[in-house]
Amino acid sequence: MNNRTRSRRLRDNEKIRNLVRETSVNTSSLIYPIFIQEGKNIKEEIPSMEGQYRYSLDQLPFRLEELAIKGVQNIMLFGIPDHKDEIGSGAFHEEGIIQKTLLQSKETHPELFYIADLCMCEYTSHGHCGILKNGKVDNDTTLEYLEKIAVSQAEAGADMIAPSDMMDFRIGRIRDELDKRGFQNLPIMAYSAKYASSFYDHFRAAADSAPACGNRKSYQMDFHNRKEAIKEILQDISEGADIIMVKPALSYLDIIREAANEIHVPLAAYSVSGEYAMIKGASGTGYIDEDRIVAETTISIFRAGADILLTYYAEKIIDLIHKGWI
């Protein structure tokens, strides 16, 4: 036994533990997702996501002010339209809910960084992430609409575009269209390894985006697969993705770690609605300590290799950073 090496020396007290801590989180690495819907005077709690709300445009500035004061810097926008159709036209209309949100928010709170989720499921009458033909999502037809949505969001002032549809070749097509329209410097954060997950059910209720028929397994990834995730990630990078994302997070820490080992672009992870609901629900019964579990799970995601975290717990994480728990 080598008596000279004592690992406990570096665990002896809080000061030295903090000094040699390998994983840390800062507030600029957090993105807070928020739901905006048509209407007035709406602040409606999402039943399956305690503490999370849908906001109408007139109520949104109050929420953005709270977030800015807390120290949240980055916002992911999800829109809930009042009209849906077969082609999801509300996603690319200049008077669409996300377009109006961007125009207003860039005026009221220009200090925040706004990321526009780019998908069609909230806007289509059938709830799928693309154009249906013969009951199936037609990949190549959908690409034309994704281009329209990206340009519309860019023109409304999005600071970053985040395609979440999982169509093949979408990143390249969106990148080319944005460049052609003069948005060469607008970054793309690609939902690259987005699994077909049961952890999304709460989000679908919040965004009213559940598919009316079938499921999304023909375009979202099979949760049994690991190598496929790396293939998807590398393809998106080759097509021009500036940041890639793994979604969900907690059940996919192995994917986050492997992606971090493979790539040289920033890596985001989305701790999704089901993860939030599980912690919130268990803490509400007293089975777990919410603050301690949020601290531990957050660190696990960054320790696995994430550079950026999308989380409904952004405000709490900031509090925990200030407490020295993260």
Strand partners for 21:
none
User: What does pTM read for this prediction?
Assistant: 0.93
pLDDT score of 5: 79
Average pLDDT in the 94-120 region? 96
pLDDT of residue 26: 92
**pLDDT of 142 strictly over 80:** yes
Please say whether the dihedral angle defined by the alpha carbons of residues 84, 87, 92 and 94, taken in this order, is positive or negative.
negative
Q: Which secondary-structure segment (H or E) carries 236?
A: helix 227-239
**Kind plus residue range of the DSSP H or E element containing 198:** none
Asked whether the predicted pLDDT for residue 204 surpasses 60, the reply is: no
Closest CA to 131 of 88, 187, 80: 88
DSSP character at residue 222:
P
DSSP type of residue 76: E
C-alpha 43/C-alpha 66 separation (Å) is 14
Q: What amino acid positions are annotated as catalytic residues?
A: 194, 247
pLDDT at 213 (0 to 100): 60
Share of the chain above pLDDT 70, in %: 95
Tell me the mean pLDDT in the region 258-272.
96
Three-class SS of residue 181?
coil
pLDDT at 175 exceeding the cut of 70: yes
Q: Tell the burial category of 9 from Cβ atoms under 10 Å away from its Cβ (0-12, 13-18, 19+).
A: exposed
Q: Please state, as a whole number, how many other Cβ atoms lie within 10 Å of the Cβ of residue 222.
A: 9
Q: Pick the range with the lowest mean pLDDT from 26-30, 128-132, 288-292.
A: 128-132
pLDDT mean over 82-110: 95
DSSP string, 280-293: HHHHHTTSS-HHHH
Residue 281: which region, alpha, beta or left (left: phi > 0; alpha: psi -120 to 50)?
Answer: alpha
CATH class (in words) of the domain with range 24-323: alpha beta
- Cα 243 vs. chain centroid, distance in angstroms? 12
The confidence band for 2, taking pLDDT boundaries of 50, 70 and 90, is low
